Structure 1
Amino acid sequence: MTYRSARWLILPVAAMSLSACGINSVPTKEEAAKAKWANVEAAYQRRADLIPNLVETAKGASKIEQSTLEGVIQARASATQVKLSTDDLNDPAKVQAFQQAQGNVSGALGRLLVTVEQYPDLKSQARFADLMTQLEGTENRINVSVQDYNGAVQDYNTTIRTFPDIIGAKIVHGAQPMTPYKAITPNANQAPKVDFGQ
C-alpha cells in the first residue's frame, strides 16, 4: 500500500471519529434547548399580554380591592423588566431572577382569583370568563414549555458531559451546562385555580 492510498483511507476514519466527538451534536442540542426557551418566553409573553385585559375587565365590573389589582399590575410590570437571553441560560443567578419575577406574577394572579370568588357578578360576565379560560390555557402552555425546555437542557447537559461528545464540547465549543428552570415557590408548577362556581 502506498502512502497516497493510506492517506485516502485515513480521511474517512478521521471524519467518522470527529463526527462522534460532538462536533455537530453539541451545537444541535444547544440550539434545540434555546428554541425550547423561546417557547417559554412566548408563553410568558402571552400571559403578560392577557393580564391588562383581565385587570381592566375586573375593574370595570366590580369594586375589587384596589391593592389586589395593583399587585397584579405591578408584578406584571416587574416581570417584563427581567430579561433573560439565550446567552444567559448558563447563568443560574439570571435564570433564578427570571423565575422569581414570573413566580411573583403567578402569586398575584392567584390572589386576584381568590378575590374574584367574592364577586359573583364578575364571575358571570362572559368577557371575564373568556379571559380566565385563556389565562388558564396560557398557564398550561407555560407548564408544557418549561417541561420541554428542561428536557432539552437535560439532553444537552448530558451530551456535553458524556464520551465521546465531551471531546468536541470542551475542546471545540467550550460548552457550559445550561440551567434548567425550577419551581422556586410552592406549587409554582401548577396553574392558578380557576373556578367559575360550576
Structure 2
Amino acid sequence: MIKTPHMSSPIFSHFRRRDRLIYQVLTAMDDFNPLAPTHPPEEYFSELSSSIVGQQLSTTAAHTIYTRLVKLLAGDVTAARLLAADDQAMRDCGLSWAKVRSVKDLAAKVANHQLKLNRLTTMSDAQVIAELTKVKGIGQWTAEMFLIFALGREDIFSHGDLGLRRAMEGLYGLGQLPSPAQADQISTKWRPYRSYGCLALWHTLDNAPI
C-alpha cells in the first residue's frame, strides 16, 4: 500500500482502531481529502439554491436545470434576483412548482434577514440544522449535506440517507437494510469523525450525494 500524507492523520488512526472496514475503504480512496469549508459565506445562498434544485434528481438533471436557472438570473444567483424572477420562467427552467416556492422562500428569508447565512460558520451543527430547516423545502438531509460539503463539519451522520444504510448492508454483510437503531449503533463508534464514515460508505456505492 502506498502511504499518502493524509494516512498519518488522526482520522485514519481513529478508524484503524474503531472500524477496520471503514478504514480499509478510506485508505483505498484515491480522492480522499480531509473535510474543510469549501465555500465562503457569500456563496452559501447559491449553494443552498443548488441543493434545493437538485433534490431527488440525478446529478446530470440537476446540473442542467440549475445551469438554466443561472442563465435566467444573468449568471448571478442572489436573493434579490431570485425574488424578482418570474415564477413561470423559473418553472420553464425545469424546476417543479414546489422547488420554485422553496427557492423563493429561501430568498425571502435571506432578504429580510430571518436567515443570516454569514453566521452559520459560528453555529453548532444542531443550530445550523435548525436555521436551515426554517426554509420551505430544506429538510434534515439537505441541511446535513450542507454541513458536510459546504461547512466541512466532520461529525455528521445522516440517518435519513437510504444510500448509507444500503452501503452498510453491503459492507458489513448484514443481509438486510439495518434499522435506524442499528445504523446508529454502527456509526456511533466513528465519533468524532462520522462524516468520514459517510464518505467511505458513499464511496462503496460510487454514489456521493448531490
User: TM range, normalised to the smaller chain?
Assistant: under 0.3
Q: Normalization by structure 1: what TM-score?
A: 0.28
Greater share of helix: 1
Q: Normalization by structure 2: what TM-score?
A: 0.27
